[in-house]
Structure 1
């Protein structure tokens, strides 16, 4: 008789267990967000704090490091870049702090990524007025489910117009997945910015090599620690690397030339102008012109600034006198022949020892 009652009881128990079993839809996850080494001790985030709009300044104000981080790994990477360049840095924070509970954070990350696909970006409490003073902006983030962390996606989406024309270098941390998808996201979010081809990714297996990996990456993209703006530029010589050839130039002792020398090394593309009469590029920010002597009748090899536009012009042919031209230097010997070719020319300006 007892067995008769046990059979329906066992059947009900089986139905109950089946109803509570989770679905298997989430069994394949492209990438799991970085998990803090010490759960509960991730990045602090006080929603009542004043909105951080001003970066922390460094000695080198030509570069800015933007980063968002939850576990602290991306923050460590950002600080390493800042330390090697002595540049400005700013943390991009969500309007609402991420949950300390790891599983809850994963769920929120998935929901926000899905919302972004529909054009709905989560709120962030970090903003900047402009990026005009920066030659290069570093953008760092953890990779969540193969994508750029939602906080940084929101920031870039909201600041895309202010980043127009700016060079952006991407760096990221992840548990093991690649960075290529997030690079494409950055290109979509900032279509009018120049996203550098070389991005740096550190995974859990390479975080211990952070210092050397960052140094190698910075060297690879032509970025290094520059002298402070108030330092003396004792040498007025520079090299111009064009492909496999290196030519030299002697600069004038004026504010514009010293400003240019203080920014080296620098990689630019010289654009052909006026049928190979001159090769030009636009420094950003514009060079210092206080106290410089204006007026020049350029000859082949002269390095000048056209004051109304702020562009550097290297003359390959002689031209008539202009009160708006400022001479900054002259290419030594017959080196100008290297630049006297049709079309645009990529070059690297370097300080001489």
Structure 2
């Protein structure tokens, strides 16, 4: 894995996706970058803004990335699922960086339904298929019950980077 540069990039409104991203970055010996939204996303009115952005498929205004995605062999992008969609900040990041991705993988945290629709949206926004994707229920993250799932996801990513084969893996 040391021959390959990996970036884990994420947005997190409540901290759940942040916990997943931090764990994944440690497991992959990857660089970690948080997508910073210029809009306030905490509180009841901000929650409504999140829903409206999701329904309208509107990207957020974000702080420019500090790390250049083009410098990485694999960019692992994480999002919370908002109303069956990728979060607006992740939508913006994928649009801004799609020409820089060599390979991508996706992960998401979700409370109910919609992770597969969010992955389909992320695939379209990134302009390429992910080498692997992993969806995790937010309640399982809070309980600390996702270790085995993340080990499988990380193993698939490492195997892909080592073998350079066209592997598509979903958990």
Superposition TM-score, scaled by structure 1 size: 0.43
Flag the structure with higher strand content.
1
* Match in the other structure for 2:12: 69
- For 1:122-142, what per-residue CA distance to the aligned partner results, in whole angstroms no more than 9, with x for missing partners? 211132563233121110010
Structure 1 unaligned residues grouped into runs of 5+: 1-58, 225-263, 270-345, 348-353
- CA displacement at 1:222 relative to structure 2: 4.1
Alpha carbons of 1:218 and 1:106: their partners in 2 closer, same or farther (altered >3 Å)?
same
Residue 189 (str. 1) matches residue 125 (str. 2): yes
Alignment of 1:290-301 (within 5 A): none
Match of 1:127 among 42, 65, 70: 65
Alpha carbons of 1:82 and 1:94: their partners in 2 closer, same or farther (altered >3 Å)?
same
- CA displacement at 1:121 relative to structure 2: 2.6
Alpha carbons of 1:134 and 1:109: their partners in 2 closer, same or farther (altered >3 Å)?
same
- For 1:264-305, what per-residue CA distance to the aligned partner results, in whole angstroms no more than 9, with x for missing partners? 961224xxxxxxxxxxxxxxxxxxxxxxxxxxxxxxxxxxxx
* Match in the other structure for 2:74: 136
Name the CA distance, whole Å, in 2 between partners of 1:268 and 1:68.
28
> What is the alpha-carbon root mean square deviation over aligned residues?
2.4
Decide whether the 8 Å contact of 2:134 with 2:153 is kept in 1. Answer: yes
Alpha carbons of 1:62 and 1:155: their partners in 2 closer, same or farther (altered >3 Å)?
same
Decide whether the 8 Å contact of 1:222 with 1:267 is kept in 2. Answer: no
* Match in the other structure for 2:53: 112
Decide whether the 8 Å contact of 2:40 with 2:46 is kept in 1. Answer: no
Superposition TM-score, scaled by structure 2 size: 0.84
**Bigger Rg over Cα:** 1
* Match in the other structure for 1:202: 136
Alpha carbons of 1:107 and 1:178: their partners in 2 closer, same or farther (altered >3 Å)?
closer
**Structure 1 runs (4+) greater than 4 angstroms displaced:** none
- For 1:103-128, what per-residue CA distance to the aligned partner results, in whole angstroms no more than 9, with x for missing partners? 21221012222443xxx532111325
Structure 2 unaligned residues grouped into runs of 5+: none
* Match in the other structure for 1:267: 163
Alpha carbons of 1:190 and 1:265: their partners in 2 closer, same or farther (altered >3 Å)?
closer
Decide whether the 8 Å contact of 1:167 with 1:195 is kept in 2. Answer: yes
